[in-house]
Amino acid sequence: MDFLFTRIASRMSTWAGQPIAFVLAVGTVLVWLVSGPIFNWSDTWQLVINTGTTIVTFLMVFLIQNAQNRDASAMQVKLDELIRAVEGARNDFIGIEHLTDQEICQIRDRIEEDNHLAPDVREWRSRLLSQFIQRR
């Protein structure tokens, strides 16, 4: 099921991002607008576009979220590999995406503060930060 959803979501999000999808959406709205006088601007006429756009929006939310989740996961794996590959990089940062927002903010704040410190103090703070991450 997961594989099927991923394939469908990937293809739909690729298609939805194409210019032809936008042209099709604009065309649909134009046809709906032109048909207004034919249906005497009735409630049913308005309900058609409201229902259609609601359904499309509802489904696109899941497709967009799936695409963003896949992209974020792939990006995280690539960044983790870069951290592993670069000599001198702190491997402690691998996997911090699993921490809470507050913990990540604390780490970010400490790293930003370290930028303005002397190299020996920065090294000491780096070890403290590594201990903080490892305790998680």
Model confidence pLDDT, tens digit, residues 14-30: 899 899 999 999 999 99
- Residue 131 pLDDT greater than 80, yes or no: no
What DSSP string describes 29-96? Answer: HHHHHHTTTTTTT-HHHHHHHHHHHHHHHHHHHHHHHHHHHHHHHHHHHHHHHHHHHSTT--GGGTTG
Q: In whole angstroms, what is the distance from residue 133 CA to residue 3 CA? A: 34
Residues in the chain: 136
What integer is the mean pLDDT of 113-121? 70
Q: What is the pLDDT of residue 86?
A: 85
pTM above 0.85, yes or no: no
Judge contact between 92 and 129, C-beta under 8 A: yes
What is the signed CA dihedral for 40, 44, 48, 50, rounded to 10 degrees? 100
pLDDT tens-digit series, residues 79-99: 988 888 888 777 878 888 888
pLDDT at 106: 87
Q: Residue 121 has which token pair?
A: 């103090």
Nearest in space to 70 (alpha carbons), one of 5, 20, 21, 122: 5
83 CB neighbour count, 10 Å cutoff? 15
Domain extent listing, the chain:
1-89, 90-136
Per-residue pLDDT at 6: 86
